[in-house]
Amino acid sequence: MLGLVFLGTDMFFDKVKIKIKAGNGGDGAVSFHREKYVAAGGPDGGDGGRGGNVIIKPDEKVDTLIDFRFKKKYVAESGATGAGNNRKGKSGEDLIIRVPVGTVIIDAETEAVIADTSNGEERIIALGGKGGFGNARFSTPTRQIPMYAKSGKPGEQLEVILELKMIADAGLIGFPNVGKSTLLSCISAARPKVANYHFTTLEPMLGVVEIGMDSRFVAADIPGLIEGASEGLGLGHSFLRHIERCRVLLHVVDVSGSEGRDPIEDYKQINKELGSYNETLLDKPQIVVGNKCDIATEEQIEALRSFCSENGIEFIPVSAATMQGIDDLKKAAYALIQKTPKPAPFEETYVKPEPKIGRTFEITEEDGKYFIEAPWLERILWNTDPDDYNSLQYFQNALQESGIVDRLREMGVHDEDTVVIGDYEFNYVS
Ligand SMILES: Nc1nc2c(ncn2[C@@H]2O[C@H](COP(=O)(O)OP(=O)(O)OP(=O)(O)O)[C@@H](O)[C@H]2O)c(=O)[nH]1
Ligand SMILES: [Mg+2]
């Protein structure tokens, strides 16, 4: 009963939460061309480099999420600052995170699906920030000596859940101790642990079932289910999530009722748990595998057979102990898999949130005064030198480009009206 110590925990590392951050863009450079005998060279500060992306890449060679157990933060390299002589900063390296094929990437905040890697394609999960423009970009005929360069944009960051959902053609499901692992060892070369106690199997295991020369399928032995599994009891969700990716289910019951349970009740109970975890699991075609026929009575086998035929469920009586019916089971499972389409990949429901660090603002009007709320604008204002033409120009541009001026006009601002930004008051001049 040692296995009970682990119940309900997520010890299998088929679900982990990690933080990822793409690289920041490098800052643009402020630099002026200098050459012997050239008195005042023009601005030549290059742009900052782009920050590295964070990419998630499904890899056949990776089969667990165990490497994510201790390392929880993944940060891509930032872009380098631009340099004089119009040199662009070096771009940051992309960070590639390798995960098992079939890992689903979920936004931790909204629980929306960002990507399903079961198609084997890599995905950019967080975009690197763009590099800032160097001062060379701000040179205009009227502004020959720009002291401005822009800082790089921050890289995207988010917290994601990586959830491994195993991909198998057939999943062996059922109560503990009904013989699921024994059956997998009968039909494939896999050698899962078999023992006469509950929750012997703690992690799903795959086996390849050979039918003929070119016909085979992959079966998964899934840890035992119990009543309440859909609420996390027993091994709960940690194995239910694997069932989502199985094409068909081999629903194993102990026909002999050797543990004093009724196989028909067991069958109903397991389906109830599947349905409460996820309704769509009930759409998966099932075969009822009546195991332990060697110790069952004829009446017990017949009772289950008639229940199945009355309900239009395929039934195969077997004994993993004597190998009775095992060939029929392999063939029936293969035939059912052939006529069942592969489960569709998870729908991508994630919508990128509006960037929080954009030039957003709010304007309210009170007693003919316009109050602008925009922390980023206050920062610019703080650094603005009212006696410096370029400096003022930069501030004016920020007002224009962010749409603040347009909004003020829409709100009906007149010349000489008061506009308040933080601690500063201005008169509006069109
Ligand atoms: N008599 C008989 N015993 C069987 C048969 N199949 C399995 N068993 C026995 O039933 C016990 C449980 O078998 P497992 O294969 O470990 O059962 P399981 O369903 O994988 O159990 P969990 O991993 O705990 O969910 C073992 O002692 C097996 O030897 C069978 O067909 N006949
Ligand atoms: Mg088992």
Residue 258 has pLDDT above 50, yes or no: yes
- Name which residue leads in pLDDT, 220 or 8: 220
pLDDT at 236: 55
Superfamily of domain 362-427: GTP-binding protein OBG, C-terminal domain (3.30.300.350)
pLDDT at 5: 29
For the chain, the structural domain boundaries read 1-164, 168-338, 362-427
Residue 39 has pLDDT above 90, yes or no: no
224 close to ligand 1 (CB < 6 Angstrom): yes
- Name which residue leads in pLDDT, 384 or 317: 317
pLDDT band at 158 (very low <50, low <70, confident <90, very high): very high
- Identify whether the C-beta of residue 280 lies closer than 8 Å to the C-beta of residue 343: no
Right CATH number for 1-164 from 3.40.1110.10, 3.40.1160.10, 2.70.210.12, 3.40.1620.10? 2.70.210.12
pLDDT at 290: 98
- Report the nearest atom of ligand 1 relative to the CA of 223: 25
71-125 tens-digit pLDDT? 999 999 999 999 988 899 999 999 999 998 889 999 999 999 999 998 889 999 9
> What count of other Cβ atoms lies within 10 Å of the Cβ of residue 133?
22
Report which secondary-structure segment, H or E, holds 265: helix 263-277
Share in percent of the chain as helix, strand, coil (round to 5): 25, 25, 50
pLDDT at 226: 73
pLDDT at 37: 64
Cα distances from 324 to residues 319, 329, 358, in angstroms, run 5, 10, 68
176 close to ligand 1 (CB < 6 Angstrom): yes
CA nearest ligand 1 atom 8, residue: 179
pLDDT at 166: 72
CA nearest ligand 1 atom 9, residue: 179
233-246 tens-digit pLDDT? 666 566 677 788 89
CA nearest ligand 1 atom 21, residue: 177
pLDDT at 6: 30
Q: Which of 361, 364, 358, 371 is nearest to 419 (CA)?
A: 371
Calpha distance 148→143 (Å, rounded): 11
| DSSP character at residue 284 | S
273-331 tens-digit pLDDT? 899 888 999 999 999 999 999 999 999 999 999 999 999 999 999 999 999 999 999 99
**Does pTM top 0.95 for this prediction?**
no
Right CATH number for 168-338 from 3.40.50.300, 3.90.1010.10, 3.40.190.100, 2.60.40.10? 3.40.50.300
Cα distances from 202 to residues 182, 198, 379, in angstroms, run 14, 10, 56
pLDDT cut 70: percent of the chain above it: 88
Ligand 2 centroid distance, CA of 179 (Å): 7
